[in-house]
Amino acid sequence: MTSVLFVCTGNICRSPTVESVFRALVAREGLSREIVADSAGTHDYQLGQPPDPRAVRAARRRGYELPARVARQFHPGDFEHFDWILAMDRDNMDSLEPFRPREYAGYLGLFLDFAPEVGVREIPDPYQGTASDFDRVLDLAEQGAEPLLAAIRATLKRAR
């Protein structure tokens, strides 16, 4: 089993959106028994809140369902449970780096590093934005999900 954690700031917009897009792709590829996904936030100011209703609406318009759960904060113990930890932007990466154990053998990096052809490395936070900003998050999630899955599949093949 391979585990993937998507991390943004509050865990109510970007990371649950990317998680949903990635889960849908994993399910379509018949890999749900081999790959699990979750999401978390680097900050605690939205703990216990459900996904942002604007993110939920944008996702549903494209056929995705955001996780039916509440925001949680990243915990250093997540390094023990996740093989792939993917930040949505550089600020989130900077928050995660100090917690990375030296012995962590998994991957810690930016989600969009797997899709350099997109031309951006960060998924912008739509929280203070408009509906089109939430659609942009979905665009980037869809563009990054397939290359990430390809990288995970390559790692799984090498491990066999």
Which of the following is catalytic: 8, 13, 23, 52?
Answer: 8
d(CA 74, CA 40) in angstroms, rounded, equals 5
Q: Would you tell me how many other CB atoms lie within 10 Å of the CB of residue 138?
A: 21
Q: Is 14 one of the catalytic residues?
A: yes
Cross-strand partners of 8: 41
Which of the following is catalytic: 13, 14, 38, 78?
Answer: 14
Which of the following is catalytic: 52, 78, 83, 125?
Answer: 125
Q: Is 13 one of the catalytic residues?
A: no
Cβ atoms of residues 142 and 123 within 8 Å: no
Q: Which DSSP symbol is given to 119?
A: S
Give me the active site residues, please.
Answer: 8, 14, 125
